[in-house]
């Protein structure tokens, strides 16, 4: 299959005529049952018509994703929620008012219009309204309902730049909208509103505290988010797969800065002596203190947003560079940090050294 690349380089709010025409064409592709990868404020999505079961099947095939792992339906207007569910709970209205458009996915009871192919056989549907203007335009041109998981091959980190979408999806889908780098860099927060109290199934930029503030009521968090989930099934089917896994063997090292630096340097020296190529995921503050084959600064310890934005790219770069072992500093698990550690722990298969 030939994959068309549609490049967007203008300010996202003011597209050129050519870019606008490209998105319109991409929307037609989705309407006609095809697949288009596109940027959002979280990560790149792989979009198909959410109401067309054949499109959802194609998404699973293109990603190599198990078909029990449901897709998130992306909409552009609040009123479009009514087709996806027969019951919009009061909490959904409050959370939509506070966080949509934005990086929050809500789980609701699905209506009969939503095919089981899209929900992985579940009676619930995941819905999000993205804020990225390019994503919003594409959704409008596509007929309003775009099912989109992250645009990576199953088992690879979610792509935050078009380069990695192209690497994974070239020849497998109809088109890729290259719209630069996403603002947030980690997937949306998922909150299940079909249970009481609401429960966070996947942490993201919108934190539990932000949800509680908006609802003025307690919100729970799936216990498997920061723990090894081998003994307990996570509630979001996709969270049970070992996503985001780099090729190198990743270990997270926690302790004081001095402990972490000396432990990683010792291990790196031993691994390199044994012929390994060792990578370190460091914060900018202490990157210069490591001795290893490749040291990458993922962001500043004082700016969690910068860490989230670069984490997946750093993991992909280590794959490209053929690193055999990776050591990463650990991060606080407060607020947005919980999402960062959740992804890092999954990438590491929960291998953590606590000093």
Q: Rule CB under 5 A: which residues touch Mg ion?
A: 150
Site for ligand AMP in 137-176 (CB under 6 A): 149-150
Buried b (16+ CB within 10 A) or exposed e, 261-273: bebbbebbeebbe
Residue 8 or 190: the one with the smaller Cβ distance to Mg ion is 190
Measured from the CB of residue 158, what is the shortest distance to Mg ion in angstroms?
A: 5
Residue 96 or 126: the one with the smaller Cβ distance to ligand AMP is 126
Contact 319, 185 (CB under 8 A): no
Measured from the CB of residue 353, what is the shortest distance to Mg ion in angstroms?
A: 27
Alpha carbon distance 246, 157 (integer Å): 8
Select the residue interacting with ligand AMP from 238, 279, 299, 330 (CB under 6 A).
Answer: 238
Residue 15 or 148: the one with the smaller Cβ distance to ligand AMP is 148
Residues near ligand AMP (CB under 6 A), total = 19
**x/- string (CB under 6 A) for ligand AMP, residues 47-76?**
----------------------xx-x----
Binding partner at 203 among Mg ion, ligand AMP, none, C-beta below 5 to 8 Å by kind: none
Residue 103 or 179: the one with the smaller Cβ distance to ligand AMP is 103
Q: Does 126 bind ligand AMP (CB under 6 A)?
A: yes
Residue 105 or 286: the one with the smaller Cβ distance to ligand AMP is 105
Q: Does 187 bind ligand AMP (CB under 6 A)?
A: yes
Measured from the CB of residue 329, what is the shortest distance to ligand AMP in angstroms?
A: 25
Select the residue interacting with ligand AMP from 15, 23, 107, 253 (CB under 6 A).
Answer: 107
Starting at the edge strand that comes first in sequence, how are the strands of the sheet with 278-283 ordered? 294-299, 278-283, 325-329, 249-254, 352-354
Q: Does 124 bind ligand AMP (CB under 6 A)?
A: yes
Measured from the CB of residue 63, what is the shortest distance to Mg ion in angstroms?
A: 8
3-state SS string for the chain:
CCCEEEECCCCCCCCCHHHHHHHHHHHHHHHCCCCEEECCCCCCEEEEECCCHHHHHHHHHHHCCCCCCCCEEECCCHHHHHHHCCCCCHHHHHHHHHHCCCCEEEEEECCCCCCHHHHCCCCEEEEECCCCHHHHHHHHHCCCCEECCECCCCCCCCCCCHHHHHHHHCCCCCEEEECCCCCCCCCCEEEECCCCCCEEEECCCCCHHHHHHHHCCCCEECHHHCCCHHHCCCCCHHHHCCCCCCCCEEEEEECCHHHHHHHHHHHHHHHHHCCCCEEEEEECCCHHHCCCCEEEEEECCCCHHHHHHHHHHHHHHHHHCCCCEEEEECCCCCCCHHHHHHHHHHHCCCCEEEC
Q: Does 219 bind ligand AMP (CB under 6 A)?
A: no
Residue 294 or 339: the one with the smaller Cβ distance to ligand AMP is 339
Select the residue interacting with ligand AMP from 26, 59, 201, 215 (CB under 6 A).
Answer: 201
Biggest alpha carbon–alpha carbon distance for the chain: 62
Measured from the CB of residue 100, what is the shortest distance to Mg ion in angstroms?
A: 20
Q: Does 134 bind ligand AMP (CB under 6 A)?
A: no
Nearest by Cα to 140 from 86, 59, 92, 80: 80
Residue 153 or 353: the one with the smaller Cβ distance to ligand AMP is 153
Binding partner at 126 among Mg ion, ligand AMP, none, C-beta below 5 to 8 Å by kind: ligand AMP
Measured from the CB of residue 163, what is the shortest distance to Mg ion in angstroms?
A: 17
- Name the segment binding ligand AMP (CB under 6 A); options: 117-125, 204-212, 273-281, 284-292: 117-125
Q: Which residues bind ligand AMP (CB under 6 A)?
A: 69-70, 72, 107, 119, 122, 124-126, 149-150, 187, 190, 201-202, 236-239
């Amino acid at each position: 299959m030939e994959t068309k690349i549609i490049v967007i380089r203008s300010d996202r709010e003011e597209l050129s005529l050519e870019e606008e025409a490209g998105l319109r064409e991409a929307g037609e592709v989705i309407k006609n049952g095809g697949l288009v990868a596109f940027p959002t404020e979280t990560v790149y999505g792989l979009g198909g018509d959410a109401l067309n079961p054949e499109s959802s099947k194609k998404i699973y095939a293109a990603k190599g994703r198990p078909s029990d792992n449901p897709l998130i339906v992306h909409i552009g207007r609040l009123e479009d929620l009514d087709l996806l569910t027969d019951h919009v709970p009061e909490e959904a209205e409050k959370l939509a008012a506070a966080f949509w458009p934005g990086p929050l996915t809500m789980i609701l009871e699905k209506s009969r219009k939503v095919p089981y192919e899209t929900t992985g056989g579940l009676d619930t549907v995941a819905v999000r309204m993205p804020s990225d203007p390019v994503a919003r335009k594409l959704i409008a041109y596509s007929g309003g309902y775009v099912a989109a998981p992250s645009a990576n091959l199953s088992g690879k980190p979610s792509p935050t730049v078009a380069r990695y979408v192209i690497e994974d999806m070239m020849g497998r889908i109809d088109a890729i909208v290259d719209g630069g780098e996403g603002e947030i860099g980690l997937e949306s927060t998922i909150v299940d509103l079909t249970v009481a109290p609401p429960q966070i199934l996947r942490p993201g930029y919108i934190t539990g505290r932000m949800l509680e503030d908006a609802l003025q009521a307690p919100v729970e968090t799936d216990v498997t988010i920061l723990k090894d989930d081998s003994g307990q099934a996570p509630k979001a089917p996709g969270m049970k797969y070992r996503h985001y896994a780099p090729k190198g063997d990743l270990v997270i090292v926690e302790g004081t800065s001095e402990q972490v630096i000396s432990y990683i340097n010792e291990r790196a020296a031993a691994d390199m002596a044994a012929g390994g190529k060792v990578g370190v995921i460091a914060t900018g503050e202490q990157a210069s203190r490591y001795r290893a084959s490749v040291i990458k600064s993922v962001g500043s310890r004082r700016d969690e947003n910068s860490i989230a934005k670069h984490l997946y790219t750093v993991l992909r770069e280590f794959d490209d560079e053929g690193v055999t072992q990776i050591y990463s500093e650990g991060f606080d698990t407060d607020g947005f940090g919980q999402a960062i550690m959740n992804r890092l722990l999954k990438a590491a298969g929960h291998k953590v050294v606590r000093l």
